Every structure is written in structure tokens, then in C-alpha cells.
Amino acid sequence: MEKSILKTSIISLGLWLLLLGCAEQNVNREDDLTLPDFSFIGLSEPLADKENIKISVHVKIPHTELQFIRSGDEYLARYEVAVNLADQDNERISGEIWSDSLRLTEYKESRNSTNTIVTVKTFKVPASELTINVRVTDLYTKKSHVLSSGIDQSLMYSGALSLGNIMILENGTSDKSKLLMNESFYEIIDTLRFNVRLLGDNFPFKLNYELKVRDEIKVNETRLVDHAAPIDSLLNFVVPLTDMHYSNYTLFLTAEDSEGNKAATKVNFRVRIRGVNFDVENMDEAVKQLIYLASDRQIKEMMIGSEIEKTEKFKLFWEALDPTPGTIDNELMEEYYRRIAFSLEAFTVIQEGWKTDRGMIYILFGPPDEIQRGPFELDRKPYQVWQYYHLGKNFVFKDQTGFGDYKLDQSYLDQGDWRFRY
């Protein structure tokens, strides 16, 4: 579909609003239209009794996820972490709740998204499919976010031979404690380091690892583990890489013992540009999502060239808009794609959420201060009123079809050239 032309004044308005959204967070909304910033990984390892497995849950919380208050000469944050492990029937099989605090000497440390806390808990549970639910609560604001992830051990445990989850290490380190927490590298890497737990007693073992990007095999290597290795081994792999680029990768690992028993495991990871959300599969998608900030000409120009050329043009576009040049973070880009990600999750019905009317308003103006929902009469169509008190703006969305595809009220479409439609 056609879209309106974005004018310079509207770009400035959108950028200002985005910056406002970066600087202020209203936690007293009727609807909390935000995404969690924390991440976690659940790692499964086989145990010698073969009836149970060890699950290590690593929770990573950025300082920016927490509210810090002045406490003497320091700044104090308090938080609670709750971990729940459930079986296939969603029945709780284990878990734990704990709280802690963090003290900083300088307030600016609390606003740096690269500063994080990592907390770890370990559980012994039956070897079966399970779901891990993690809730992080700021104890000052009482604001909570929840994330869930499943662990499928169907291929990893075969009795005589077992593999744990692949543990990818952060770029440039061999420190086994430096795990890649959010399955993303933020720059091109030339070496991939990972560990995996192997349990078995029929030597020797043949291990094959295969690295794929989309359908292209980048690495395919086989290695033998002889009888000198212990039956419960933490194996270390160092994989040289060439011709890497920003994309999604899958690492497959298979093991076979001398009796023909097999086990397998895999992990997905990304090489990505800082700030670009996880839902973007490639650079073309990231560029298309600039519809609310970039002109048609700019978007077309960024779509031309190789993957590396597109990436460089994309980075230059955002560098020109960076509110804090010279720092690692581009807060504007991070906020923009954070809103894209939320729109995908919250507003996708017929179209992808970021292409919808509610997605457009959310991306440009951020979370509303209040949402009113109707109707209260049976003969009226459902509607939502998004109220932005600090901007003096209200937006009315109507669901004309009854399928949850809310459209911005027609009266708002004539008010400016900021309007876009897919």
C-alpha cells in the first residue's frame, strides 16, 4: 500500500518524542506497555544417575531495569527474582524466590545499559521436557516482568550417551563463567568458543559440530574423544570463523559412541547490531522498519548493495541521530527498536504489529499514560482511547471487524503528514 511522505518537521517531532520516551518512564499506567530488559538462559546438563538432570538458570539484569534511590553517599536498588520450573502439564516441579540489592557509588552507572547483574541458581529435576519461568521485580517500584523458555531434552538423553546444552562463551574469552547470556554477539566475531557436557562410557566418541546461517553450512568438523577422557566430561571447542556477517546462526552438535548410541543438541545465536531487536531476521527488515523516521529515498538507498554495505549505511543513518555520540549506546536506536519489538508482540493480528495503527502510534509516541476501553453498550464496536497527558494528545482506535484489528479513527488521518499505512 502507499504511504504518506514524511516531512522534516514530522521527523523532528518523532525524534523528540522518542527521546522523551528514553528520558522518562511512567510506571503508573493502567496498562504497562513495555518489554522486559532482563534476559536469562536455562542450561541443562546430564547427571550420572541418568534419571535426573541439572538445570542452571542464569539471570542477567541490566542496571537500567532497576530504580536506584539515594542512600547516603551511594545509590541503592533492590530486586527480587523468582524462578519456576514446570513440566509438560504446567505443574511446578521446582523453583526458588530470592531477593538482593545493588549499591553504586555513581548514579551514571545505573543508566548504562551495558552494566549488568548476573545471578545464578541450580536445580536438580527429572530428565523431561520442562518450561522455565523467570520473574524479576523491582522492589521499589513494584514493577515486574516475566520471561519464559522451554528446554527440550528429547535428543540429548539416550541412556548410554547424553549431551548437555551448548554453552557459548562471550566473544574473545575462554573464561567458562562468561556465558553468552542473550544468545547475541554485538559485533562480527572471528572465533566461536563453546562448552558442552558429555556423559557416556562407550569409548571412543565421535563428535560432529555444524554451523549454519540460514541454509548455508559455514563450518562442518568432526573430532574424536578417546578413552583418556573421563566419562563425565566438559568438552571445550574453539572454532575459527571466516566470512561472518550480521545474521542468525544455528550450531548443531551430534555425538556417537562405539556402540552406535547417539545424542544431539543445538543452539541458536545471532551476530547483530546493538539496539536492533531480536525479531529482525536481516538488515532489509531493519531498514523497512525505519518507515516512521526515514524518507522513502533514504530507505531505498539503504536497501541497495551487499549485506555489509547495507549495514554500514544503516549504522551511518543512526550515528547521525545518536543523542549521545561518543558512547557505546545509541539510546534512540535502542528505544526505537524496543518499541518495534513490543508492537510485534502486542499488536500483531492481521498485519505485523509494527505496521498497524496502534503500532505506529506506540512507536512514535511511546506507551500511553492511560488506555480507556469500550464499549459498554452491546450495539457499539470495540474501541480504545490512548491518552497522553504530558503531550496533550488522545488517539481513538476502533475495531470495525471485531477481529482485534484496531484502526485509528478517520478524523485523525487528516491532521498531518506523519500518517503511514501498509
Q: Is 174 left (phi over 0), alpha (psi -120 to 50) or beta?
A: alpha
Last residue of a domain, one of 222, 253, 272: 272
Total domains in the fold of the chain: 3
> What value does the mean pLDDT of the chain take?
82
| Domain harbouring 60, CATH code | 2.60.40.10
Residue 196 in domain: yes
User: What pTM was computed for the model?
Assistant: 0.68
Task: Indicate whether 268 and 284 sit together in one domain.
Answer: no
Sequence-ordered list of residues with C-beta below 8 angstroms from that of 270, at least 6 positions apart, any chain: 183, 184, 185, 247, 248, 249, 278
- Higher local confidence (pLDDT), 31 or 214: 214
Task: Indicate whether 127 and 106 sit together in one domain.
Answer: yes
Residue 418 in domain: no
Residue 343 in domain: yes
Predicted pLDDT at 245: 79
Task: Indicate whether 100 and 198 sit together in one domain.
Answer: no
Sequence-ordered list of residues with C-beta below 8 angstroms from that of 195, at least 6 positions apart, any chain: 166, 167, 169, 176, 234, 235, 236, 237
Task: Indicate whether 312 and 365 sit together in one domain.
Answer: yes
How far apart, in whole angstroms, are the C-alpha atoms of residue 185 and residue 212?
A: 16
The C-alpha angle with vertex 225 and arms to 41 and 124, in degrees rounded to 5, equals 35
Task: Indicate whether 85 and 170 sit together in one domain.
Answer: no
pLDDT band at 411 (very low <50, low <70, confident <90, very high): low
Task: Indicate whether 39 and 96 sit together in one domain.
Answer: yes
Sequence-ordered list of residues with C-beta below 8 angstroms from that of 230, at least 6 positions apart, any chain: none
Predicted pLDDT at 252: 95
Residue 231 in domain: yes
- Residues in a beta bridge with 247: 271
Q: CB atoms < 10 A from the CB of 357, how many?
A: 22
pLDDT digits (tens, 9 = 90+) for 351-388: 999 999 999 999 988 999 999 998 756 677 899 999 99
- Total length of the chain: 422
Task: Indicate whether 280 and 171 sit together in one domain.
Answer: no
Task: Indicate whether 162 and 262 sit together in one domain.
Answer: yes
Task: Indicate whether 283 and 346 sit together in one domain.
Answer: yes
What 3-state class would DSSP assign to 407? strand
Residue 248 in domain: yes
Residue 399 in domain: yes
Do 38 and 13 touch, CB atoms closer than 8 A?
no
Residue 420 in domain: no
Task: Indicate whether 191 and 217 sit together in one domain.
Answer: yes
Is the pLDDT at 222 greater than 90? The verdict is: yes
Do 198 and 162 touch, CB atoms closer than 8 A?
yes
pLDDT digits (tens, 9 = 90+) for 294-338: 999 999 999 999 877 888 899 899 989 888 887 777 888 888 988
pLDDT digits (tens, 9 = 90+) for 73-114: 999 999 999 999 999 889 999 999 999 999 999 988 888 777
Is the pLDDT at 390 greater than 80? The verdict is: yes
Mean pLDDT of 23-28: 36
Last residue of a domain, one of 118, 134, 151: 151
Last residue of a domain, one of 120, 151, 182: 151
| Residues spanned by the domain of 40 | 34-151
How far apart, in whole angstroms, are the C-alpha atoms of residue 5 and residue 311?
A: 24
pLDDT band at 412 (very low <50, low <70, confident <90, very high): low
pLDDT band at 188 (very low <50, low <70, confident <90, very high): confident
Instruction: Give the three cell numbers for residue 74.
Output: 551511594
Residue 422 in domain: no
pLDDT digits (tens, 9 = 90+) for 327-336: 777 888 888 9
